[in-house]
Each structure stands twice: as structure tokens, then as C-alpha cells.
Amino acid sequence: MNQINTYSLSCFFLFVLINVSDSSTLIAQDVQKTNFGVSFSNELTANEILNVIPDLVELGIQTVELNHPISNDLIDNLSAYPIQILVRSNISYITRFEISESDVIRSQLSPFILEYSVKQNIVGIGIASYSDSFNEKILVTLRNQLPDSSQIRLYQVNTSLDTQLPTVINSKSIDLNGFVNQILFEAPFNDHDISIFKKTLSLNPSLVLMDWYWFSDATKSIPYFTDTILTANQSTDILLSDNFAASNKSMVDWPIIILVLLWFSVGIHIISNPTYRPLIFRYFTFHRFFVDDIMRYRERSAASGITIFVQHAFFSGLVLYILSVFFISNKGLDALFFHFPLMAIIGQNYASIFMLSFLISVIFSLFSVIWLYLPSNSMKHFSQIVNLYSWVFHLDFIIVSVMIIILITQGSKAVLLLMGGVHFLLWIIAYVVAAYDSSKYLMKGKVKYLLNTIGIFLILVSTLIVTFILSGYPFDVLRLAVRL
């Protein structure tokens, strides 16, 4: 009996040992090695791509991404090499509003998927780049375009939520298999990309895809870059050095120069106009006396009002520029100009945002003062309404100075948004205060004047804001630009 128990106990321990060993093996097999790939744009010909493929395979590159349209000969020739092929569509910057339109699926994505899903060596199809996410219903529709036995996974290229990482390739399979934890490095190559590359490898991604031009520049700039790729699948050691500057989003110097010049213009204004400085103090402390001086035409010059008017337009440009630089990435800017190319009045850059806001501010302010002046019987000179309307914009000097400091120091987003909101709220406050001040000097028709000015103005502004938010396409473009 004891012999039987001893035998049974031995078998039990042997069984446990075998299972523990098998579990260890499974765990070891689950450790995923990073797959390296190269993404080729349509700027390269098929022959140029095929000429570099042997060297890439020897280096350990296992994946190649091609961009639509692609010749059948190129795909067939690539099948001779031990590489996987990804094919990405040329659809970019699609908004949620456009995705919901069936025409995008019917006329663009469905033919694209059907064309490449029959190829044997294609393992992934990129449905869109830098766009809003496709919902599950549309993904099911797209997935149904693939053959039943197909192992092809759908993916989407987007920016990373981690600002210290590059572009991310998101799996769009309706099942839970396929591509996960994938990174794409896009051209141009910068020295600080190496520190990002090192951080990326430490996260053990399933795929690191590199734009061909980025990869070429990296191999030229870093002698041991290719050694890192060669050893990445055999060792956890990363050969790359940390001696590279971190990537920081910075602004150019010209907005600071404009701010300094605007402050300098205040000094010139004070020196050239002796009555200007006392009137600033009077407007914000003894406002009733300031209005009385203007309406009784004791302060006749429109020079101060026009100067502040112009300063405000520059401040408006700076505010929208600062908000854009802080909240909209370069990819987001590309999306914005892709949908609204007329906004790029001086090129597809942040300076166009500045100029556009400057022009809008000038037009809005001119429209406001004309609207305030024409219905009023209490004002005989246009300089009166210009002065009543513009002086509140002195607050711009404080608001924009704080915003510039927040941008330089990468400070609080909430404070930056608050200050930007206050600046644009001044547009409304200036109109309302000027209309109210003017109405107090009307002998009759005061209520009618207020309804024709403040009443209609607030209704119009509210309607424009609500219409934009509910507009669908325009609002989604802005939301996409901020998200990217």
C-alpha cells in the first residue's frame, strides 16, 4: 500500500513538473520580438524599391508597406522575398462626418479592399491615415469585403496619444487578433528621433515601421543604427546612445518680436499724445467721465482709438496663433489646410493662422463700429464710436503676454484656453459696452437702438457659434485637427 502511495505521489510531482515546464515554454514563446519594416511612398519607382529589398532582407527587415496605387508586377516580385506586405490607401484626413457618408465606403474603400485582398502575400490593408476612427458598424462592412478565409487585417495610421512617441498604426480588425502596438517613423529624420527610437524599442512594439527616407537618413547619420536592428531580435540590449536632444515643440521668435513691438508702441503713443495716458486710467476707473468726454466731443482725436484698433487686430492674430501652436500639431495643421486650402493665405503654416485671425479681427471690428454708429443719433463724429469701442482692448496686453509665457514654458492648457476665451469675449464686451454707453446720450429711441444693436448682435453671434458646433463637417475638421 505504501509503495502504491509513493508511486502515486511520484507521478503527481512528475505531472506538476511537466506542466510547469510547459507553462514556462509557453510564456517564453509569448515574448514578442519586434518586427522591423520599411514604408515606401509613391515617390519611388517599382525598380527602385526592388533594388533595395535584398539589402533590407539581409538587415532583418520583415515587413514592407506600399502606398496605393501599386503595380501587380511589384507585388508579384516581392513575393520572392520572405517579407510581409502592407498596403495603405491614399485616403487621409477623413472626418467623422465624412466617414458616416456611405459614398466614402462605396466609391473609395470597397474597391480598394477588393483590389488587394486577393493578393497572397498581403497581410494588412490600411484603410485611412490621420483620420477619425471608424466605428464598429463600418468596420464590419469593410471586413465583409474580404474573402471568408482571408487573414488580412485592416489598420489605420494615426498620431500617438503619447507626444513623445511618433505615429501609431492602429489595428482595425473586428476580432482581437492582428496588429497591436505598432509604431511608424515618418520623414524627415531628426537627431532627437534616435532617443524616441530607443524609447520605442524599450516598449517592445510588435512592429516598428520606418519611412524609407527616414530610414536612409538614420543609417547615414548614426553608424550603429543598422546594428541595432540586426541585434534587436536576438538581444534586449539597445545600442543607441542617449546623447540626443529631446523633442520639444517650440515656437519661432517672430510672435515674441511682435509682442515686444506692441508694448513699444504703447510707449510711443504715450509720448506722442499727452492725453492718452490719463484716459487709460479714466476708462477703467471713472468710466462715466471717459464716456462724457467722448460724447461731448471734448476728446476729438480718433488717433488713439485707431491705434488700439490696430493693436487689437495684431493681438487677435497672436492669440489664435498661440492656441494653434499649443493645441494643433503639424499633422493637425495639414488636416486643416487639406479641408480648407483657402486658409493657407501665406502658406500651409501657423503664420497663415495668424494672418487669417488678423484679417477677421479687422473685418469684425469695422463691421461692429459701423453697426454701432449708423443707427445712433447721439454721435455726430465717427471718432466717437471708434474711441468708445476700442479702449477695452487695452486688456489684450496683459492677456496675450500671459499666453506667450504659458506657450514658452509649456504651462497649463486650462489657463491658456481661459485667457484665449477671455480675449475673444472682449470682442463681444467691446460692442455691448459701446452700444450701452452710446444709448445713454439718446434723447429718444433708446430701447430701439439697444434692440437693433446689442439684441441683434448677440442673437447673430450666438447663432453663428451654435451653427458651427452643430455644422457637422466644419466642426469635425477642427476637432480632427486638434486630435491629431
Specify the DSSP class assigned to residue 310: H
pLDDT (tens digit, 9 = 90+) per residue, 241-263?
554 444 444 445 889 999 999 99
Q: Is the pLDDT of residue 230 over 80?
A: no
**Which helix (H) or strand (E) is 126 found in, with range?**
strand 122-129
Q: CA-based angle 86:90:95, to the nearest 5?
A: 115
- Any idea which residue has 480588425 for its cell? 173
Phi/psi of residue 94, nearest 5 degrees: -85, 130
Prediction pTM value: 0.80
Please report, for the chain, the start and end positions of each structural domain, with discontinuous segments joined by +. 31-232, 254-483
Specify the DSSP class assigned to residue 454: I
Determine the pLDDT at residue 175: 37
pLDDT (tens digit, 9 = 90+) per residue, 159-184?
876 655 555 555 444 333 344 568 88
131-153: average pLDDT: 79
Burial class from Cβ neighbours inside 10 Å (0-12, 13-18, 19+) for residue 74 reads: middle
What is the C-alpha separation between 477 and 479, in angstroms, rounded? 5
CATH code for the domain defined by 31-232: 3.20.20.80
pLDDT (tens digit, 9 = 90+) per residue, 271-322?
888 888 888 888 888 888 888 888 887 766 778 888 998 999 999 999 999 9
Specify the DSSP class assigned to residue 106: I
What is the C-alpha separation between 64 and 57, in angstroms, rounded? 10
The C-alpha cell at 371 is 453697426
